[in-house]
Every structure is written in structure tokens, then in C-alpha cells.
Amino acid sequence: MTEREETLELLVHAVRRFTREVLLPAETEVEETEQIPDRVIEGLKELGLFGMTIPESYGGLGLSMFEEASLVFEVAYAQPAFRSYFGTTNGVGTLGIINFGSEEQRQRYLPRLATGDMMASFCLTEPDAGSDAASLSTRAVRDGDHWVINGTKRFITNAIHAGVFTVFARTGLKEAGAGGISAFLVDRDTPGLTVAKPYRKMGFAGSHESDVIFENCRVPASALLGAEGTGFKNAMRSLDHARLHMAAVATGMCQRLLDEGLRYATERRQFGQPIANFQLIQAMLADSQAEAFAARAMVEKAARAKDAGLKTTKEAACCKYYATEAAGRIADRMLQIHGGNGYIKEYAIERLYRDARLLRIYEGSSQIMQIITAREMVREATN
């Protein structure tokens, strides 16, 4: 075993222990208060999880995709709000700076993001531009040495906590499509930027999503992230990574769901024996185990391919599609195993069932993942 493999093993063990000893006991509190406790946030910082994807030269852990997925499997065993709290800072909120940022921008933001002293948000989705990201209408107009941004972004995770926003706005004509979109780094205290009150949601308690409104929001020319017109490329590159990350989240949840169902099935007795002895219960457990195993294998293989420098747009979409859909099926089966008890809040499965539903929508819906997968298949076959 190499030194790096040994380090990863130690990190995985530490995150697994933290998840079992700190995160799981805090789940009910988060559900009731909609807040991540300070003690949990401090623990996440101490583990370095805010800087998983940030290079070591800027204070982060500098993990590979496979290493990142290995840690996400563990932390996502707990309800997803904990992962969500540091997830955007690691992923879409930071990857654009790493991939396209100037050295000045990297030095300004990455060290603080790596420690969790600052959080980041990714402002792409709009009220009328979700899956069709290229149709966004938020505009940025050049005015001397500044850009003036106007528009509204929707469903922005951690917006109420963020110190910097990666904002995608149209700088070219609408006819230019994706080529007319640019990205900007906008600080929280910039005049004209307003964060709305977080939504009340079906699940994901403790994860906060809000609208972010830009009204004549004036930023310096140095806020442009990458070259003008490269914003869509920036977003798509970040989302390829984020979809593998989200597949790892779903995989971690699959295992938690399965463990909840298996524990209940071995403890619950009917007709004088544990219900785990009944073949129809065993069928649901077996189907779920197979899907959880397949999801993990897919994510690990795709992550290694990405680390090898291969294009993984198709593989990331496949993983995100399969793992999140599997989580939905497993959640449904495990709730069914719980019977009526699965429908009351005394059992974790009720909460996890609601949490699992969002995974098939955000970072690209299942239907968009199907389209991306098929598009890439056709492209490969005809080139």
C-alpha cells in the first residue's frame, strides 16, 4: 500500500467514525431546527472536508475524484444536509475558480474556502432556465472598468451562508446561445446583491436554498472568471465533476437505507419469527443490495477514469442517473419493509425517504442524464 493509499484509509476511517458518532446523533436536531449545529460545523472543518477538492498549495486536501468519492460515501451515510453544507464549497462553487480562475482570484478565495472560513455558492439556475442552462436571461453589461449584473437565480444552495458567488450571466447576444455566457465572482457584500429567505422544502432539512437577486449589481472587471464567453464551458466542466460527486452521495444513502431496512427486518417479528425470514422481504433486501453494490462499483470506476484524464461526461451522467434512481427504489422498499412504522417520524426511514427524492432532480434531472448519456453514445458512434 502506498503512502497516499494509507492516508486515504485513515481519512475514510476518521470520516466514518465522525459520521457514526457525531452526525447520526444530530439528525433529529437538524430536522427540528433546520440548522446544522456549530459543533458539527467545527468537526467538518477539523476533518478538512471544506477543502477536499482544493489543491494543497491553497490549503486544501487536494483529493483525486476517487478519493473524494471514498469520503463522500461515508459522510453521505448520514442525512444529506451535512454533506450539502460543505458540498458546494468543494464542488461547483469552487471548481470554476480552480479550473478557470486567475492566480489572483485563487489566492483571494481558495485558502479561506479550504478552511471553511468562507463558503461558496453556484448561481446558474433561474426561474425560467433550469435544465436548459444555455437559455439563461441574467445579463451582465460592461460599463467602463466594471460589469453591471441584473437578474434572478433560483434554488441556490447555501446562498445565505456564502461569502462568494459564481454567477453566470449573458454578456453576448441571446442568439449566441451558450457562447454568450460568462462567469463572475461576486462577493457577498456587493451592493445590489440580495439573498432571499430560504425555501421550505419537502426534505433536506438543514440544507438552505434561496433565490439570489441581482439589481444593478456592479462588480469590477477583475471579477470575470475566465475569458468572456467561456461561462457555459466553465459550468459544464464543473457539473461533470458534481454529478460524479452526487452519485457518490446517492451511493452512501443507498447503504444507509439498506442498513435501516435490514436492521428493522431482523428485529421486527410477525407470525412468531423475524420478518427477515420471509422470502418477499428477502427479495426486497436482495434487490436493494444488488443496486447499492452496482452504484458503488460504477462510481468507483468512473472516478478512476476521470483521475486518469479521460473524458467522463457520459460516465458521470450514467452514474448520477443510476445511483439516484437506485436510492429512490431502495428508499421505497425499505419504507415498505417498515410497514406502518415507516410512515411515522419515530423512524429514520420516514425522513430519509423524503430526502432521497431530491437526488433525482438537482445537479441535472434523471431525464437530462438520460439525454446526455444517449447524446454521448451517438457522438462516439458517429465520430
Based on the domain organization, do 298 and 326 belong to the same domain? yes
Residue that is last in its domain, among 67, 93, 115: 115
Strands (DSSP E) contained in the chain are: 120-123, 139-143, 146-157, 164-170, 181-187, 193-195, 209-220, 224-225, 269-270, 273-274
What letter does residue 2 receive in the DSSP assignment? Answer: -
Based on the domain organization, do 79 and 146 belong to the same domain? no
Residue that is last in its domain, among 115, 150, 174: 115
| pLDDT one digit per residue (tens) for the chain, 383 residues | 899 999 999 999 999 999 999 999 999 999 999 999 999 999 999 999 999 999 999 999 999 999 999 999 999 999 999 999 999 888 788 999 999 999 999 999 999 999 999 999 999 999 988 777 778 999 999 999 999 999 999 999 999 999 999 999 999 887 777 889 999 999 999 999 999 999 999 999 999 999 999 999 999 999 999 999 999 888 888 888 999 999 999 999 999 999 999 999 999 999 999 999 999 999 999 999 999 999 999 999 999 999 999 999 999 999 999 999 999 999 999 999 999 999 999 999 999 999 999 999 988 999 999 999 999 999 999 98
The domain that holds 351 is classified in CATH as 1.20.140.10
Based on the domain organization, do 191 and 305 belong to the same domain? no
Residue spans of alpha helices (H) in 228-273: 231-267
Contacts of 43 (CB under 8 A, 6+ apart): 18, 22
CA–CA gap between residue 339 and residue 347 (Å, rounded): 11
CA–CA gap between residue 16 and residue 78 (Å, rounded): 10
Based on the domain organization, do 223 and 194 belong to the same domain? yes
Based on the domain organization, do 372 and 270 belong to the same domain? yes
The domain that holds 142 is classified in CATH as 2.40.110.10
As for how many domains the chain has, the answer is 3
Based on the domain organization, do 249 and 365 belong to the same domain? yes
Residue that is last in its domain, among 115, 131, 150: 115
Q: How many CB atoms lie within 10 A of CB 100?
A: 20
CA 7 to chain centre: 24
Contacts of 287 (CB under 8 A, 6+ apart): 329, 333
Q: Quick one: pLDDT at residue 134?
A: 75
Based on the domain organization, do 248 and 342 belong to the same domain? yes
Based on the domain organization, do 38 and 126 belong to the same domain? no
CA–CA gap between residue 52 and residue 43 (Å, rounded): 14
Which residues are paired to 164 by β-bridges? 120, 187
Based on the domain organization, do 71 and 188 belong to the same domain? no
Q: Please, are residues 122 and 238 in contact by the beta-carbon 8 Å criterion?
A: yes
CA 200 to chain centre: 19
Which amino acid is present at 327? A
CA–CA gap between residue 87 and residue 92 (Å, rounded): 8
Q: How many CB atoms lie within 10 A of CB 152?
A: 18
Q: Quick one: pLDDT at residue 324?
A: 98
CB neighbour class for 222 (10 Å; exposed up to 12, middle 13-18, buried from 19): middle
Based on the domain organization, do 242 and 372 belong to the same domain? yes
Q: Quick one: pLDDT at residue 250?
A: 98
Domain that holds residue 17: 3-115
Based on the domain organization, do 270 and 333 belong to the same domain? yes
- Report, as residue numbers or ranges, the catalytic residues: 363
Based on the domain organization, do 189 and 262 belong to the same domain? no
